[in-house]
């Protein structure tokens, strides 16, 4: 491990950039015609850093028309999330879905709305890269004739302990390891069965994942010297954001033909400084796509950091059900298992129901599912229910086979949630894990349109309010598998539960 303070010592102090400065710059660029960021989110956890933005789980033209109308009528900030769930798909399926979404978004926008596209993926570098930004760029070119100059890669997620310094992506330590940094390629996430990788230096990661199409030395690196070019001298001032913006735009100037551009980020001010630089680069005519972690959009549109919602705010405008809440856990990363263990140890009144993955895969599972649904419904009548998949992860050496197993398990979880919802609706639903929370939203709860209201914990774990379908009015909590500490799942459940 490396000490963060030692790594940062080589770089300037952050430039203070108010969110309003970014929001004003974004608004100014939309004076002639409105511009909206369309965020293709490869699992639903990307919304955890934003508030009061529309979310789509379907992407027909009419869905985008709803979202664009909502943004205009509510005067919300100009971004919409589209839940693609492509991290659970094979490459061909993921490519087709990205293309379909971009075509429909452009069709809905017509000549009235200018679109920017964001490919939101995992802050620990797992996902279909460079496939997804490649497909987005190719589709834009096919529909509009517009070529993409650069793909800006910003995986940092400081709220969850992921930062990029000197072009290297790190995970921050916690507890006894606080203040230490581990290169992300040395963590469990880099060993992912479907999306594993060997390099923490982002330029080398790009070369690795592009199979040499982009050599590491061809990647533009916006390190902290550039992001913080407007840093103040030792006179106590906040620095000059305009100098940083100019330095960033100047560094991006050589980008052409989808040049990868990787970015150092440690703080929210770094995101905002980057946003101003990207505004300037686009004002000069650069056409950019973004491949990012969750907080990028918040910084890019100049949204203030939303404080964590209280339990009362989670139910605001709706009357809580007298039923118990449903907590669904599908993720298998070590952190999720520790969080599950903490919740079950603390929430003594909750009923715990395990979905046995081996039994599910061997039997085909219909009778087993009937049995599980009945148990969940009966338990909801008395209080909170924790449904989790068995913790033994069944892995293969074949990435496609691993994804197939994951989809089979997720389909069973979805069936349990959907049938329980239609029999005895729960007070709230928490879904833990990326694929799990995506499938529970789109299929288990049949959400088509929702509004992300804000985080349940600072900077992480988002609450969606479904605005249609059978789950309308039921708070839905999207909880990534790889965020928070051991207490986080219990903390969120305690806010929402009437029995905990």
Tell me if residue 346 falls in helix, strand or coil.
helix
Produce one character per residue of 360-374: b if its CB has 16 or more CB atoms within 10 Å, e if not. Answer: beeeebeebbeebbe
* Domain presence at residue 82: yes
Give the chain's largest Cα–Cα span.
72
Whether residues 356 and 296 share a domain: the answer is no
State the Cα–Cα distance between residues 271 and 287, nearest whole angstrom. Answer: 19
Residues 184 and 293 in one domain: yes
Together in a domain, 223 and 335: no
DSSP state of 444: I
CATH assignment at residue 462: 3.40.980.20
**β-strand 385-389 against 351-355: which pairing, if any?**
parallel
Our measurement of the distance from residue 478's CA atom to the centroid of its chain's CA atoms, rounded to an integer in Å, reads 10
> What is the average per-residue pLDDT within 374-381?
96
Contact 154, 296 (CB under 8 A): yes
CATH number at residue 258: 3.40.50.10840
Band (437; pLDDT cuts 50, 70, 90): confident
d(CA 160, CA 383): 31
Residue 105 vs residue 401, higher pLDDT:
105
Q: What is the mean pLDDT of the chain?
A: 92
Q: What percentage of the chain has pLDDT greater than the value 90?
A: 77
Which of these three, 270, 301, 332, is where a domain ends? 301
Q: Is residue 315 part of a domain?
A: no
Two structure tokens written together for 72: 């205009």
Tens digits of per-residue pLDDT, 451-475? Answer: 999 999 998 899 999 998 999 999 9
In this predicted model, what pLDDT tens digit does every residue of 230-253 receive, in sequence order?
997 655 578 999 999 999 999 999
Could you report the per-residue pLDDT of 183-216, keeping only the tens digit for each? 999 999 999 988 999 999 999 999 999 999 999 9
Q: Is residue 9 part of a domain?
A: yes
pLDDT exceeds 70 at position 399:
no
Asked if residue 318 belongs to a domain, the reply is no
Structural domain contains residue 39: yes
pLDDT at 334: 83
Give Cα separations from 474 to 54, 265, 403, 428, 465 (angstroms). 16, 36, 30, 6, 7
Residue 409 backbone phi and psi in degrees, to 5? -65, -45
pLDDT at 390: 76
pLDDT band at 436 (very low <50, low <70, confident <90, very high): confident
Query: Which contacts qualify for 316-322: CB closer than 8 Å, 24 or more apart?
Result: 317/465, 318/465, 318/473, 318/474, 318/475, 319/473, 320/427, 320/428, 320/498, 321/425, 321/426, 321/427, 321/474, 322/427, 322/498
> pLDDT by residue (tens digit) across 264-283?
999 999 999 999 999 999 99
pTM: 0.90
| 255 and 330 part of one domain | no
357 and 430 together in one domain: yes
One domain, residues 340 and 473:
yes
Domain span at residue 71 reads: 2-301
H or E stretch covering 289:
strand 288-292
Strand order in the sheet with 162-165: 2-3, 180-183, 168-172, 162-165
User: Can you tell me the mean pLDDT for 398-407?
Assistant: 70
181 and 174 Cβ atoms separated by less than 8 Å: no
Q: Does 329 share its domain with 276?
A: no
Q: Are 257 and 210 in contact (CB under 8 A)?
A: no
Whether residue 313 lies inside any domain: the answer is no
Does residue 391 register a pLDDT over 60?
no
Element spanning 478, H or E: strand 476-479
Q: Domain check: are 47 and 104 in the same one?
A: yes
Do 269 and 348 belong to one domain? no
- Are residues 22 and 145 both part of a single domain? yes
For 74-117, write each residue's pLDDT tens digit: 988 999 999 998 988 899 999 999 999 999 999 999 998 999 99
Please tell me the distance from the alpha carbon of residue 429 to that of residue 417, in angstroms, as a whole number. Answer: 9
Tens digit of each residue's pLDDT (9 = 90 or more) over 319-336: 898 999 999 998 777 888
Same domain, yes or no, for 16 and 90? Answer: yes
- Tell me if 310 is assigned to some domain: no
> So what's the pLDDT on residue 233?
63
User: Is 175 a member of any domain?
Assistant: yes
Where among 244, 271, 301 does a domain terminate? 301
The domain tally of the chain equals 2
Cis upstream peptide for 221 (omega within 30°):
no
Same domain, 151 and 255: yes
Report pLDDT digits (tens) over 124-138: 999 999 999 999 999
């Amino acid at each position: 491990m490396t000490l963060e303070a030692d790594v940062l010592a080589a770089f300037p102090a952050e430039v203070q950039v108010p969110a309003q400065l970014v929001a004003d710059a974004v608004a100014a660029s939309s004076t002639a015609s409105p511009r909206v960021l369309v965020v293709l989110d490869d699992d639903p956890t990307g919304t955890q850093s934003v508030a009061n933005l529309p979310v789509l789980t379907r992407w027909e033209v009419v869905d985008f028309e709803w979202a664009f109308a909502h943004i205009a009528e509510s005067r919300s900030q100009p971004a919409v999330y589209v839940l693609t769930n492509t991290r659970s798909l094979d490459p061909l399926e993921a490519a087709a879905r990205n293309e379909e979404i971009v075509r429909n978004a452009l069709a809905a926008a017509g000549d009235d709305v200018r679109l920017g596209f964001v490919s939101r993926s995992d802050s620990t570098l797992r996902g279909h890269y460079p496939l997804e930004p490649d497909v987005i760029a190719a589709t834009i070119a096919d529909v509009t004739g517009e070529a993409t100059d650069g793909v800006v890669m910003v995986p940092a997620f400081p709220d969850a302990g992921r930062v990029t310094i000197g072009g290297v992506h790190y995970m921050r330590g916690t507890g006894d390891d606080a203040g230490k940094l581990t290169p992300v390629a040395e963590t469990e996430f880099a060993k992912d069965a479907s999306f594993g990788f060997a390099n923490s230096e982002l330029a080398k990661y790009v070369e690795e994942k592009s199979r040499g199409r982009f050599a590491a030395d061809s990647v533009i690196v916006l390190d902290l010297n550039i992001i913080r070019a407007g840093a103040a001298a030792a006179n106590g001032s906040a620095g000059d954001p305009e100098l940083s913006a100019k330095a960033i735009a100047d560094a991006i100037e050589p980008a052409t033909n989808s040049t990868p551009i990787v970015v150092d980020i440690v703080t929210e001010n770094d995101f905002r400084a980057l946003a101003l630089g990207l505004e300037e680069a686009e004002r000069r005519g650069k056409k950019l796509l973004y491949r990012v972690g969750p907080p990028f959009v918040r910084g890019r549109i100049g949204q203030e950091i939303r404080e964590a919602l209280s339990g009362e705010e989670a139910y605001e405008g709706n009357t809580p059900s007298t039923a118990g809440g449903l907590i669904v856990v599908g993720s298998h990363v070590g952190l999720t298992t520790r969080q599950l263990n903490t919740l079950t140890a603390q929430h003594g009144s909750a009923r715990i129901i395990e979905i046995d993955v081996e039994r599910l895969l061997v039997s085909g599972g219909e009778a087993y599912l009937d049995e599980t649904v009945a148990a969940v419904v009966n338990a909801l009548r008395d209080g909170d229910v924790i449904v989790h998949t068995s913790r033994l992860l069944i892995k293969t050496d074949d990435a496609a086979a691993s994804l197939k197993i994951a989809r089979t398990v997720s389909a069973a979880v979805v069936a349990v949630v959907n049938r329980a919802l239609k029999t005895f609706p729960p007070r709230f639903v928490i879904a833990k894990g990326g694929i799990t929370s995506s499938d529970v939203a789109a299929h288990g709860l049949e959400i088509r349109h929702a509004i992300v209201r804000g985080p349940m914990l600072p900077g992480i774990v988002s609450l969606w309010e479904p605005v249609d379908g059978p789950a309308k009015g039921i708070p839905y909590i999207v909880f990534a598998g790889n965020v928070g500490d051991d207490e986080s799942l219990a903390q969120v459940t305690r806010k929402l539960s009437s029995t905990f």
